[in-house]
Each structure stands twice: as structure tokens, then as C-alpha cells.
Amino acid sequence: MNSRAKYDLFEWAGDQKSRWLLHLIFWSAVLVFYTFFFGYKNVNYKITFSFVIILLPVTIITTYFLNYELIPNYLFKKRYAEFFLYFIYTLIVSFYIEMATVMVIFIVVAELKMEELHPSNTNALFLIAGMYVVVFLGVAVKLVNQYHSSRLEIQKLNRDKMEAELKFLKTQLHPHFLFNTLNNLYSLTLEKSDRASDVVLKLSGLLDYILYECNAEMVALDKEIKQIGNYITLEKLRFEDRLEVDFGFHGSSPEVMIPPMLLMTLVENSFKHGVSRTMKRSWIRIELKVESDRLLFDIKNSRHNIMNSERELSGGIGLQNLRNRLQLIYKDDFKLEISNDERSYEVQLEIKTFSGS
């Protein structure tokens, strides 16, 4: 058995031990509580303790049967009619068993002439009713615990999904961008151009941001803007005079936080589907506004090929992936609109901003 298996076994054993301990504490508390609660009237705790400890096993069996048989196999599987039927049967059977137990006690006490142990001295019916309060309490605890576990599981699945989608977005950076940037860098080094060092710094900063800084759930808007600027500069080096890019920013961005690669994905998508598909002169217009607690991002690019497929016009996998991330982070509190005509393609995004303070 390897060390990992041993660790898992000990971890499971520890969890089981803790669970049994909690159950033991719970039922011990029930025993003590009902002994004092029902014994208080006649100040005869010995008699009450005897009745509680005799009736408690039926209560325990009923509770566990409901929690570990009926609820998982019927209620959670949405077999509601069967659950309701078996639930009623269980309560009726357990009630008859407890009543039969009380009747046996009646007979034994009568034959032994032990009047002080007569069931009427402890209000047996009231005690039985109290036992069913424990049954319903146990069921309620089970349901609440299951709800809490389900919520935690959903949150974990959402986080895992978001992380997977972010990793996917990182791989969406167009490979041609990297190859062309390196080729351009090679040409600049042959020319011994002063621009070569600047290209290295911008590419290094961009890759560092994508591979490392984007591991956080939120990044500063200023960082995303800076890397968008690096990306645009490197792409303009690739397309030279046949590309015109305008990037306008309005508002204040200190301490504003956004999900990583959110705006970068839209910019990369614009180059990928708008500019790189043609040898004609192209343009991209980018406008970013931060107003109060809202961020508005509008990116529009020229379009020369009117035969684009419906998938390309919708942004392909990249924008669908981005929409899924937005849904996870902002629920329905965001807008992502795509529009196009024969000459242009436009994406508008509006989201709530988060503060880093």
C-alpha cells in the first residue's frame, strides 16, 4: 500500500471516528434531555430514564432508516410518491412498536405489582410523541447538511469550471501572433534595430501576465490595460501600415479589479477574426469607460469577408467561453452584445467593477 493510499485510509478512518462520536454525543444528549424533561414533573428521574432508554432504540432505528435509506434512495432521486408512502409506513410501524413496548411494560409492571414504575407516572404517550420530535429533528439535520454539502459541491464545480475556462482562454492567444512576433524580433535583431529590446520587453510582460498573474480570480484593470497595449503594439509591428488602431480610455481605474483575460480575449478575438483574415487595410476602434461601479468596453473592427460563418460572427469558442465565465462571475448582471454588418464587427461589454481596497 503506497503512502497516498495510507493517508486516504487514515483520513477516512478519522472522518468515520468523528462521525460516530458526533452521533454518540447527539443521542446521549437526547437521553439526558428527555430524562430531565419528562422526569421533572414527578421528580422521578429513574423511572423516566428507564422508559427513555427502552424507547430510544426504536427512535434511533427509525431516524437512521429515514436518513440513510428513504431520503437518499427516494427523496433525493425525486421518487416523491414512493418516499411519502414509505415514510408514512415507517412512522406507523415504529409507532406500533413503541406502543407495544409500552404495553409490555404495563403487563410486566402489573404482574410484578410495581406501581411506582407504572407507565402512567411518566405520561408514556407524551414521551412517545416527544421521541418523534427527535426523529423529525434528525431528518431536518440530514436535509440541511445535504443542502449545505450540495452548495459546497456546486461552488467547487463552478470554481473548477472557471479555472478550466481561464486555462483554455490562455491557450486561445493566436499561435500566429507568437510566431510572427518572434520572426519580427529576429528581423529587428539582424537589423540591429533599437526596437528589438522594446519588443522583447513587451512580449515578456505579456507572457508573464498570461501565464502567471492571471492565476488570480481578479486582477487590477490597469494591468489588463497595460498588457492590451503591449499586445496591440506587437500586432501593429506585424501588420505595419495596413492596420490602424485607436484605443480610448475614459474614467478612473485605480483599485478597479476585473476577471483576468476578460478584455484581452475581446481584443485578441478582434485581431483574429477581423484583421488577420485579409491583406487589405484594416482598422480597430476600442473604447473603455469606467463610470461609478460599471465598466463599459466597446471594440469594433473592420470586416472585409462577408462570407464569414455564423460561428465566426458569434465569436467562436473564445467568446462563448467568455460568456460562460461572465455568467459564473456576474450571474445575470452583465451585458455582452455582438453586432455586425457587411463592413464591421462590434462587441459591447458592460460589467460591474470590483474594488481592490
pLDDT tens column, 36-45: 776 666 556 7
Helix (H) or strand (E) holding 281: none
Cα–Cα distance, 234 to 239 (Å, whole number): 9
pLDDT digits 0-9 by tens, 257-311: 898 888 988 988 888 777 766 667 889 999 999 987 889 999 999 887 654 544 4
Q: According to the model, what pLDDT value does residue 336 have?
A: 92
Cα–Cα distance, 265 to 326 (Å, whole number): 12
Rounded to whole angstroms, what are the CA distances from 3 to 6, 12, 16, 343? 5, 14, 20, 63
HEC readout, 285-301: EEEEEEECCEEEEEEEE
pLDDT of residue 5 exceeding 80, the answer is no
What's the whole-model pTM score?
Answer: 0.55
Please report which residue ranges of 172-290 form alpha helices under DSSP H.
175-190, 195-211, 221-239, 262-270
Beta-carbon count within 10 A of 30 CB: 21
**pLDDT higher for 122 or 19?**
19
Q: According to the model, what pLDDT value does residue 53 have?
A: 82
Q: According to the model, what pLDDT value does residue 316 have?
A: 56
Q: According to the model, what pLDDT value does residue 286 have?
A: 94
Please report which residue ranges of 66-171 form alpha helices under DSSP H.
80-112, 124-171
Rg (CA), the chain: 35
pLDDT digits 0-9 by tens, 146-168: 888 878 777 777 777 766 665 66
Q: According to the model, what pLDDT value does residue 172 have?
A: 54
* Spatial contact of 132 and 63, defined as CB atoms under 8 Å apart: no
* Spatial contact of 313 and 345, defined as CB atoms under 8 Å apart: yes
Give the percent of the chain with pLDDT over 70: 75
- Give 347's pLDDT tier (boundaries 50, 70, 90): very high
Give the sheet arrangement for strand 354-355, strand by strand.
219-220, 256-258, 354-355
pLDDT digits 0-9 by tens, 15-33: 677 778 888 888 888 888 8
Q: For the residues 192-202, what does the mean pLDDT come to? A: 83
- Give 114's pLDDT tier (boundaries 50, 70, 90): low
- Give 252's pLDDT tier (boundaries 50, 70, 90): confident
* Spatial contact of 298 and 335, defined as CB atoms under 8 Å apart: no
pLDDT of residue 349 exceeding 90, the answer is yes
Q: Which domains does the chain have, with CATH numbers?
A: 3-156 (no CATH), 172-355 (3.30.565.10)
Residue with cell string 501600415 = 241
**Burial code of 305-316, b = ≥16 C-beta within 10 A, e = fewer?**
eeebeeebeebe
Give the sheet arrangement for strand 294-302, strand by strand.
243-251, 282-291, 294-302, 344-352, 334-340
pLDDT of residue 350 exceeding 70, the answer is yes
How crowded is the C-beta side of 347, counted as CA atoms within 13 Å?
27
Rounded to whole angstroms, what are the CA distances from 239 to 49, 186, 275, 276? 88, 16, 9, 8
Rounded to whole angstroms, what are the CA distances from 355 to 170, 279, 288? 24, 42, 17
Among 194-208, 291-305, 308-322, where is mean pLDDT lowest?
308-322
Cα–Cα distance, 161 to 58 (Å, whole number): 45
Q: Count how many residues are written for the chain.
A: 357
